[in-house]
Amino acid sequence: MQRYVNVIIDGATIHAPRGSSVLDTAIEYGICIPHLCHVPYLSDLGACRLCIVEHVVGGRASITTSCTLQVQEGMVVLTNTERIRRLRRNIAELLVAQAPNSRAIQDIAVRCGVSEVRYPFRHADCVLCGRCVRACNELWKARAKGFVGRGKNRHIDYPFGVRPDFCKQCGACVQLCPMSIPPCNGPMKPGEEYLCGQCDAQLIISEKAPGSCTWCRLGDGFACGRYAGARSR
Ligand code: SF4
Ligand code: SF4
Ligand code: FES
């Protein structure tokens, strides 16, 4: 079996390792797809939906999350169409409404073109991205926390709400949580929410040099794989 497949992402033909995801392939090639729940060394869950792309099959495009979509020979993917930008902006807006105090989410939202939030702010302390759960399960094999409940009641917790003895207190769950990076100017009060946008400087560079990667980090603490791997196109 061939170890590489040819995929076309935004018109560029890319030779990608079989089994890799569209998101990893795009990032490796320098194509920026916003993402939140993806962590390069953990399994993908498709939780945040920020990484959506159009997958074109037989002339018809379906929308799917690029972190959970594996590359296939001849695959055609569009990452930055008007439709995708609109949907992604809406997803980012909902994330900010859910957790306006997360600087990581604010930064990503600004990069997705969000300038105002039309939804009520919920001030939740979690966006259910599952980064903490996967870090705990996959890095440390501790299984000390997980998703609990369904629908509106779904949340992250320890078994029976009590930190178990087998929690290794490694801190990985906190380090990877988008809620652990406070906004620059301190916690926002209900009714005083705003989009920080103070990380716009990199975006201004990208407007002046369209198509070039500005190593923006996609939200402080959320390096895209390209930044983390210090690879260049
Ligand atoms: S601190 Fe405990 S709950 Fe958090 S990742 Fe480590 S083992 Fe898991
Ligand atoms: S606690 Fe943090 S890392 Fe865990 S699911 Fe919620 S937002 Fe994500
Ligand atoms: S990064 Fe793909 S769904 Fe979150």
- State the pairing for strand pair 12-17/4-9: antiparallel
pLDDT at residue number 29: 85
Whole-number Å distance between alpha carbons of 12 and 143 = 41
Mean pLDDT of 55-82: 94
Question: What's this model's pTM, rounded to 2 decimal places?
Answer: 0.86
pLDDT at residue number 28: 85
> How do residues 120-179 score in pLDDT, each as one tens digit?
999 899 999 999 999 999 998 999 999 999 998 999 999 999 999 999 999 999 988 988
For ligand 3, say whether the CB of 103 is within 6 Å of any of its atoms. no
pLDDT at residue 44 tops 70: yes
Report which protein residue has its CA nearest ligand 1's atom 8.
Answer: 136
Domains of the chain by start residue, with CATH = 4-120+184-229 (3.10.20.740), 131-176 (3.30.70.20)
CA–centroid distance, residue 147 to ligand 2 (Å): 10
Mean pLDDT of 66-87: 95
What dihedral do alpha carbons 49, 52, 56, 61 form, nearest 10°? 70
pLDDT at residue number 214: 59
Best of 127, 133, 175 to mutate for ligand 2, by most ligand atoms within 8 A of CB? 127
pLDDT at residue number 198: 61
CA–centroid distance, residue 129 to ligand 2 (Å): 5
